[in-house]
Amino acid sequence: MKKIAIIGAGGFAREVELLIRDINKVSPQWSFVGFLVSDLYLLRDTDSRDRVIGDFSRLKAHSLDALVFGIGNPQVKLKVAAELQASFPNVDWPTLLHPTAQFDRESANIERGVVMCAGCVGTVNLYFGEFAMINKGCMIGHEAHIGRGAVLNAAANISGGVTLEEGVLVGTGASILQYRTIGKNAVVGSGAVVVKDVEPGATVFGNPARKIFTNLEE
């Protein structure tokens, strides 16, 4: 059994722990060590404080085989990923796919660190970039491109040919119509229906989705 820790200690980190347990029921391979955080002083009441094994300085002490992200914010996740990869280049970032996830794995391209939770259904020629996260019950159509660090929250619907660029966040129950592109670091709000391309850094809500904010840094 390989020793694995989860980066983060909040609600989504606990869901990733459940994912690891479900994988082990089918094929025992991971020994969950605990949660790791960047700063112990930033822990909140909603975090799993009792199972936090320390900050990132504890990585060497625990001699871990692998890490996985339990952080739902794409920008925070990618920032932390860069720091950890630079400091601990030999730690593995495995792809964790729930046993109930269904898609054509022969035609899929899956980078390292991808997390896919229970009940997700995809079709053919899918691309999942490094550290992408697909939460429970998402639907993903043919030739969809889920970019590096992108996060799909529960029950998101991604139609065929959609491109989500790096760092995109798609809210719970949102739908994106076929062949649309969601630009880098954009946010699609919960329940939104995207009928046209979304520019980088924009936040869109509603049906049809309309821009309500743009991050000028993008």
Q: Is the pLDDT of residue 213 over 90?
A: no
| pLDDT of 2 above 90 | yes
Q: Rounded to an integer, what distance in angstroms lies between the CA atom of residue 77 and that of residue 149?
A: 7
For 25, how many CA atoms within 13 A lie in the half-sphere containing its CB?
10
CATH top-level class of 2-87: alpha beta
| Dihedral sign from CA coordinates of 217, 207, 133, 103 | negative
Average pLDDT over residues 80-97: 92
Q: pTM to 2 decimals?
A: 0.94
Classified by CATH at the fold level, domain 96-218 comes out as: UDP N-Acetylglucosamine Acyltransferase; domain 1 (2.160.10)
Looking at the chain, the whole-number percentage of residues with pLDDT higher than 90 is 88
- DSSP state string for 118-173: TT-EE-SS-EE-TT-EE-TT-EE-TT-EE-TT-EE-TT-EE-TT-EE-TT-EE-TT
Comparing 152 with 90, the larger pLDDT belongs to 152
Q: pLDDT tens, 113-171? A: 999 999 999 999 999 999 999 999 999 999 999 999 999 999 999 999 999 999 999 99
Contact yes or no for 195/209 (Cβ under 8 A): yes
pLDDT the model gives residue 217: 52
Contact 72, 7 (CB under 8 A): no
Give me the chain's average pLDDT, please: 94
In this prediction, residue 130 carries a pLDDT of: 98
Q: Is a pLDDT exceeding 90 seen at residue 210? A: yes
pLDDT band at 218 (very low <50, low <70, confident <90, very high): very low
Output the pLDDT for position 88.
Answer: 85
Residue-range domain boundaries for the chain: 2-87, 96-218
* CA 16-19-24 angle, 5° bins: 135
The percentage of residues in the chain with a pLDDT greater than 70, rounded to a whole number, is 98
